[in-house]
């Protein structure tokens, strides 16, 4: 089965996942000298073309509401490419 890699907008908006690095934390809450607090965790998801086409309109709407028009454009493109399955 061929799979399409999920772009960042689908990954973040559809799953609710968010990457958090140590730079987002209050320095007073970081453990002193802990190197692990400087590592950013990155995840990704794989979607079938059909699934990508199904979530694309939802993602586009969320992006539009939040004013993230470039992300909306990629979701719209994904809907055009994969939404007809």
Domain positions in the chain: 1-14+45-85
pTM, 2 dp = 0.53
Distance CA 56, CA 47 (A): 11
Query: What's the average model confidence in pLDDT over 60-75?
Result: 95
Query: What's the average model confidence in pLDDT over 48-74?
Result: 94
Q: By percentage, how much of the chain surpasses pLDDT 70?
A: 54
Closest CA to 77 of 56, 49, 58: 56
Structure confidence by residue, pLDDT tens digits, 10-43: 555 555 545 444 445 555 665 555 666 677 778 8
- Calculate the CA dihedral of residues 1, 70, 63, 40 and round it to 10 degrees: 70
- Calculate the CA dihedral of residues 64, 61, 42, 22 and round it to 10 degrees: 50
């Amino acid at each position: 089965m061929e799979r399409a890699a999920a772009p960042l907008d689908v990954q973040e908006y559809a799953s609710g996942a968010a990457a958090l690095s140590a730079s987002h934390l209050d320095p007073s809450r970081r453990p002193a000298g802990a190197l692990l607090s400087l590592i950013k965790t990155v995840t990704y998801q794989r979607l079938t073309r059909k699934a990508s086409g199904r979530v694309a309109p939802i993602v586009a709407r969320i992006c539009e509401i939040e004013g993230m028009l470039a992300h909306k454009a990629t979701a719209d493109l994904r809907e055009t490419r994969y939404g007809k399955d």
